[in-house]
């Protein structure tokens, strides 16, 4: 089962959130 964007988002460190524009 491929990872969904939400799954990948959860795996990212909080610091990477800024790269997503959040």
* Predicted model pTM: 0.30
Q: Do residues 20 and 9 make contact, with C-beta atoms less than 8 angstroms apart?
A: yes
Measured over all CA atoms, what is the biggest interatomic distance in the chain, rounded to whole angstroms? 27
Residue 22 has pLDDT above 60, yes or no: no
Q: Distance (Å, rounded) from C-alpha 9 to C-alpha 19?
A: 11
Over the stretch 1-16, which tens digit does the pLDDT of each residue have?
Answer: 687 888 877 777 665 5
């Amino acid at each position: 089962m491929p990872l969904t964007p939400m799954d990948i988002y959860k795996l990212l460190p909080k610091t990477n959130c800024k790269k997503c524009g959040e």
